[in-house]
Amino acid sequence: MLKENEIKVGDTHTAVLVEDLKRTQIVQYAGASGDYNPLHTDEIFTTQVAGYPSVFAHGMLSMGLTGTMLTDYVGDGALKKYGVRFTNQVWPGDTLTGKATIIEIREEDGSKVIDLMIETTNQNDIAVITGSATATIEA
């Protein structure tokens, strides 16, 4: 868990979430999450029937990858809130970088928390996820 005297508003944490996303990792997420929508795993259906240029990642895979960056930063069991908007699709071959920025340090229900702004971008610097989180810190 982060300590209050070691952080300040404006601090950032960044991490490369995935390099050259493979279709197999999307399949892996489909199996673990239970979301077998063919748009994510079935290239033939997705290109020939649904009309997309290729399969694409579950939004929740991007949120999960971003969550890995987030919990690596704030620690285990520290998150109180985590929410995102899926702003662009993530395609096989994409490289994603996640960034969390501390925007406020405050008290909530008698404990110290931080509010974070979150953004995950692809290799073209286009945001695929924007969001926010709140995490408990040590006073």
Site residues (vs another protein, CB under 8 A)? 17-18, 25, 28-29, 31-38, 41-42, 44-45, 48-53, 58-61, 63-65, 67-68, 70-72, 76-77, 79-86, 88-89, 126
Q: What whole-number distance in Å separates Cα of residue 96 and Cα of residue 128?
A: 9
- Burial of 105 (C-beta count, 10 Å sphere; 0-12/13-18/19+): middle
Of 14 and 88, the one with the shorter C-beta distance to another protein is: 88
Of 11 and 35, the one with the shorter C-beta distance to another protein is: 35
* Beta carbon of residue 77, minimum distance to another protein (angstroms, whole number): 5
* Beta carbon of residue 26, minimum distance to another protein (angstroms, whole number): 9
* Beta carbon of residue 102, minimum distance to another protein (angstroms, whole number): 18
* Beta carbon of residue 100, minimum distance to another protein (angstroms, whole number): 13
Of 8 and 115, the one with the shorter C-beta distance to another protein is: 115
Q: What whole-number distance in Å separates Cα of residue 63 and Cα of residue 73?
A: 15
Of 89 and 101, the one with the shorter C-beta distance to another protein is: 89
* Beta carbon of residue 87, minimum distance to another protein (angstroms, whole number): 9
Q: What whole-number distance in Å separates Cα of residue 7 and Cα of residue 46?
A: 45
C-beta contacts of 28-31 below 8 A and 24+ residues apart: 29/57, 29/58, 29/60, 29/61, 29/64, 30/58
Of 70 and 114, the one with the shorter C-beta distance to another protein is: 70
Q: What whole-number distance in Å separates Cα of residue 11 and Cα of residue 9?
A: 6
Structure tokens at 8: 């300040």
Measured from the Cβ of residue 64, the count of other Cβ atoms closer than 10 Å reads 15
